[in-house]
Amino acid sequence: MPLNILFVGNYLPGGSRPVTLDLASALARQGYGVRVTSTRTAQLPRLLDMIATVLRHGAGIDLVVVDVYSGRAFLYAEVVTAVLRALGKPYILTLHGGNLPAFASRWPGRVRRLLAGAARVTAPSAYLTEAMRGFRPDLETIPNGLDTGAYRYRLRDRPAPRLLWLRAFHEIYSPMVALETVARLVRTFPGVHLTMIGPDKDGSQAAVLAAVGRLGLESRVECPGPVLKASVPAWMERADVFLNTALIDNAPVSVLEAMAAGLCIASTNVGGLAYLLRDDHDALLVPPNDPDAMAAAVTRMLTQPGLAARLSDNARVRAECCDWAVVVPQWETLFASVVPARRR
């Protein structure tokens, strides 16, 4: 009999969709009983909703999966897992975010205590697993998953200068670098066009829009704001090159989506990206905060014979390793190691 699983995380409406929410959906399709919390936008009501959900439904839950992020969100995991321990409920922690190792170095005691109380701890990348193994030696890597069938693969053997950037407008994702990349490319590719999709988190979108006008790029840059998850494949179909300009990163689903669609990816080589992507094989990797290097990478994709086709094809192959058909069984094996067979 399938388990009843509660997922605890920051499932905010209008924000970036957490990968554990997609995991919950994938498990529900397999017949698991699934419940998620919380969708509250304000921080205190969100924490109270998480606690209330655990208390209200705990008796019918076999297992809890708790997202762990750095910063203020780390407190949610601390409080919720304290409640779970008091109730005697087994739980799995899943680590997120390229900034978590830096947070752990500042708060090693808190991080070690949190990880020690979990039945299992997972991370979506080898980078995060290695970086956090000093706090819990038996960390397990289970990659972020996606439905590759939702992304129509198109081999970009003759790419056009149609660029896509898909992240939150926040300084850690360096949206201005994407814009500065276009300003450099327009000298060689006057038809270059950039679409920048994502919610505004810290006012960076306003700065980008102001720079668009200042640089005279109004006809070459569009910012439709946040879009529904279901519409992402259509936006990717319109583009040939994907820019990932992050300063801090782990294993972003947006990059996996671009790989599944066969886009040619130019990405910074920070954090877990060098673990997810192989330079000159399924992407071109460049230093962070370097629009000259990013523009040079895109220029290579658009002009070097055979390069774009190789990157596009290899990216799709890599993405298929993260399809839910491959990833869900890994989670099921993990669940079976936590919840005894007599309870299932």
For the chain, the average pLDDT equals 95
- Predicted pLDDT at 5: 97
CATH class of segment(s) 148-320: alpha beta
pLDDT-derived band at 13 (thresholds 50, 70, 90) equals confident
At 309-340, the pLDDT tens digits run: 999 999 999 999 999 999 999 999 999 999 97
Res 23 pLDDT > 90: yes
Contact 156, 264 (CB under 8 A): yes
Q: What is the CA radius of gyration of the chain?
A: 21
- Predicted pLDDT at 17: 79
At 54-78, the pLDDT tens digits run: 999 999 999 999 999 999 899 999 9
Do the domains spanning 4-145+323-343 and 148-320 agree at the CATH topology level?
Answer: yes
- Predicted pLDDT at 344: 45
What's the pTM?
0.92
Res 142 pLDDT > 90: yes
pLDDT-derived band at 2 (thresholds 50, 70, 90) equals confident
At 86-120, the pLDDT tens digits run: 999 999 999 998 899 999 999 999 999 999 999 99
In the chain, domain spans: 4-145+323-343, 148-320
Beta bridge partners of 241: 163, 264
Q: What is the DSSP letter of 318?
A: H
d(CA 167, CA 160): 22
Q: What is the identity of the amino acid at 130?
A: E
CATH fold group of domain 4-145+323-343: Rossmann fold (3.40.50)
pLDDT-derived band at 292 (thresholds 50, 70, 90) equals very high
Greater confidence (156 vs 14) lies with: 156
Average pLDDT score over residue span 276-298: 98
pLDDT-derived band at 342 (thresholds 50, 70, 90) equals very low
- Predicted pLDDT at 1: 74
Contact 52, 82 (CB under 8 A): no
Question: For the packed helices 73-87 and 108-116, what is the interaxial angle rounded to 10 degrees?
Answer: 40
Res 29 pLDDT > 70: yes
**Comparing C-alpha atoms, which of 49, 129, 40 is closest to residue 93?**
129
- Predicted pLDDT at 182: 98
- Residue 8's φ and ψ, nearest 5 degrees, are -115, 120
d(CA 75, CA 8): 13
At 208-258, the pLDDT tens digits run: 999 999 999 999 999 999 999 899 999 999 999 999 999 999 999 999 999
Please give the share of the chain, as a percent, with pLDDT higher than 70: 98
At 150-190, the pLDDT tens digits run: 999 999 999 999 999 999 999 999 999 999 999 999 999 99
Average pLDDT score over residue span 286-304: 98
